[in-house]
Amino acid sequence: MNILNIINNLLNAANNAPSGGNLQPISIIVIKEAEARKELSSLLENQPWVKNAPLSMIFCIDFYRLKKWASMSNTKFLGDQSLSWFFIAYADVMYAAQNVVILAESYKLGSVYVGTIQLKFTRIRKLLSIPKHVLPIISLSIGYPESIPNYVPKLKRDIIVHKEKYNIMSDDDILKAYESKYEQFGEDIDDFLKKNYIESIEYDRQLDTSFVERVKERIQKFGIKNPAQFLFNLRYPSDAMVALNKKQLRQLNSAGFEFI
């Protein structure tokens, strides 16, 4: 099958995804032009796969179309003020995106979600001429992979599965669950990063930078001693994540979403 047919099928899979109330409050911006992918990448921390993968799809919550339609039909649609509609639309967007991911895999295409887009609502909306009441939620970079990681750490399946009722794990079992997911933080930081931070290695490979060296320096500087500290002190610092709230809420408001 040629690539245009494949892309056509991917988009059909997205359009046929489940949708709460079948409102389909979504839009997908398909980006193929190299210059556009470069600009997009520069807004998304220069993540190299955004630039290098030949196709990006930006999945958006779209209340603009529904609001217009409702207003022209002498009624109102207030998705932009309703947390319920927002949660439903967020899920709809993700179902559509995941349909694309799974179908793409069946064509031997690889994909990378890029959630960083959620830190840049305003600039991405400007770059892509996105109107009010439309919010870019996730970007998906798609292409034929040169290699496929042979190891991605996951919890053991039964940790996430509960039989009939929620099973509250003991502290010890929680520690063990994550010990078995992430390698312990030993002397060999390279080995830890190779197993647990594949993107950093890939980043260097694709952009010829010393990103891994910088991460290693910061691990030393911050006195990181275990995988949880690596995640929540360095990679996704907890206080910084909370501090982002104000900025993200401002960007939501400027996109026309007002919940309170």
Ligand X SMILES: Cc1cc2nc3c(=O)[nH]c(=O)nc-3n(C[C@H](O)[C@H](O)[C@H](O)COP(=O)(O)O)c2cc1C
Footprint on this chain of ligand X (rule: CB under 6 A): 47, 112-116, 138, 152, 199
CB closer to ligand X out of 21 and 149: 149
Integer Cα distance of 19 and 210 in angstroms? 43
User: Smallest distance from the beta carbon of 115 to ligand X, in angstroms?
Assistant: 3
User: Smallest distance from the beta carbon of 47 to ligand X, in angstroms?
Assistant: 6
Cα-based angle 3, 91, 138 (whole degrees, multiple of 5): 50
Of 95, 90, 206, 100, nearest in space to 147 by CA: 206
Alpha helices (H) in 167-210, listed in sequence order: 171-181, 189-196, 198-207
Half-sphere exposure of 149 (CA within 13 A, CB side): 14
CB closer to ligand X out of 81 and 122: 122
Contact between 97 and 138 (Cβ < 8 Å):
yes
User: Smallest distance from the beta carbon of 129 to ligand X, in angstroms?
Assistant: 23
Integer Cα distance of 205 and 145 in angstroms? 13
CB closer to ligand X out of 72 and 152: 152
CB closer to ligand X out of 138 and 215: 138
The CB-nearest residue to ligand X is 115
CB closer to ligand X out of 66 and 88: 88
CB closer to ligand X out of 65 and 120: 120
Rg (CA), the chain: 21
Q: Hey, how many other C-beta atoms are within 10 angstroms of the C-beta on 164?
A: 5
User: Smallest distance from the beta carbon of 167 to ligand X, in angstroms?
Assistant: 24
Q: What is the distance of C-alpha 157 from the center of its chain? A: 22
User: Smallest distance from the beta carbon of 84 to ligand X, in angstroms?
Assistant: 21
User: Smallest distance from the beta carbon of 141 to ligand X, in angstroms?
Assistant: 9
